[in-house]
Amino acid sequence: MPGAFIRREPTDSNTLRRNQAVVELFTRAQWMPFCDKLQGYDEEVAEEFLQALRPKSKVLATVNFKGLSLKITPQSISRITELPMGLPWDKEERKLSQQAKKEFFPPEEEFTEDKNGVRRTSLLPPWNEVSLYIMKYITRDGRYSIVYAYHFRLLNELRHRIDLPAKQRLSIPYFLLQSLMECSTKLKDGIPDQVAHHGLVKLLVEDALHSYKVPLAWESFRNLTREGDIKMLLEETGSSSGEEEEPAAESKKGKSQKIPTPTQKKERKEKEEGKDDRAKEDTPILSAREKRLKSRAVKTEVFPVSPSTSSAPAVKAKSKIHAAKQEKVVTVASAGTQKQASRGSPEAACLVNLVFLN
């Protein structure tokens, strides 16, 4: 990043946690979770983020860079940082800030004033250390020697208003949004050394990266070039995710084929019943005479007489048996017919004649 970078912000809360008095106050004010979340940052990403920041109102800003789109509000900052919402305030309200400075010091407490504020080393413990960590973790000031009037508004929160409900205290998320807008303006005006809140920028970007169906990694994003786009990361992540899910899908498909579902069983049954119905439709309706003839034909096919395999005597014997059966049938039929004819039935007489003719 061009220019001198003087805001060497802490990358974790280890140093803060060594001071028990500060930890106790920050915990009561519900600021500690935010301090613990500040884990590293990237200077170039912070600069690109602030270059792309567009204020829409006092409570809304948008950021679009490297294919990433964010809407930043005090509510979204509160959700991401776990800082409680409270009363909106502006650090440029000089009158209220001067009043806060007077309210902070009891009558008997002495301090050394500077033309711009109060020398931090002149504050009594633990407030000299508390003010230092407010500058490092909350306001993100580059120099820590002077406590400015607006700092006393936050010091008052910890010294005189800490037991009030969060909604009656000053809103840190609201302050952070105003501070991001101020840093963005100064950066665009050519003052790069005023870039601040690097850790907060990382939290905002990470939250946006995790909002995708397949979350993107912060390290992959920060390694993109200035002309890079998250579409590349989404394609890479999506393809690798698809390769992992494909074998599982195939396995699931195989299991579903082995064990048919109730619906599949029903469809199979209906299909088989349909085949039976079609077979019935294709089967012809035979008369009694046709059935007898078909039955005789089947018997003849089942027991064929093969000249090549049967001897001549056997064929003659079978022929005699067949002739004898025919004569017996004719005799029986003739006898029955003659009996009916004797009764005077013309139909019977005709039947007798037909039998003998055959």
Mean pLDDT by 10 residues, the chain (358 residues): 59 95 97 96 94 96 95 97 96 92 92 90 95 95 90 96 94 97 94 90 96 90 87 74 48 49 66 62 58 62 46 54 54 48 48 45
Same domain, 64 and 192: yes
**Domain contains 27:** yes
Same domain, 202 and 314: no
pTM > 0.75: yes or no:
no
Cis peptide before 126 (omega within 30 of 0): yes
User: And the tokens for 104?
Assistant: 């902070």
Q: Residue 353's Cα: distance from chain center in Å?
A: 96
Structurally, how many domains does the chain consist of? 2
Residue where a domain terminates, one of 211, 246, 277: 211
| Domain residue limits at 79 | 14-211
Q: What's at 298, amino acid-wise?
A: V
If DSSP codes are grouped into helix, strand and coil, which group holds residue 143? coil
Which of the 8 DSSP states describes residue 139?
Answer: I
Closest residue by Cα to residue 156 from 172, 170, 176: 170
**Domain contains 228:** no
CA dihedral 85→91→93→97, nearest 10 degrees, is 100
Separation CA 269–CA 264 (nearest Å):
9
The CA-CA-CA angle for residues 177, 57, 75, to 5°, reads 45
Residue where a domain terminates, one of 174, 195, 211: 211
The total number of residues shown for the chain amounts to 358
| Spatial contact of 81 and 173, defined as CB atoms under 8 Å apart | yes
**Domain contains 143:** yes
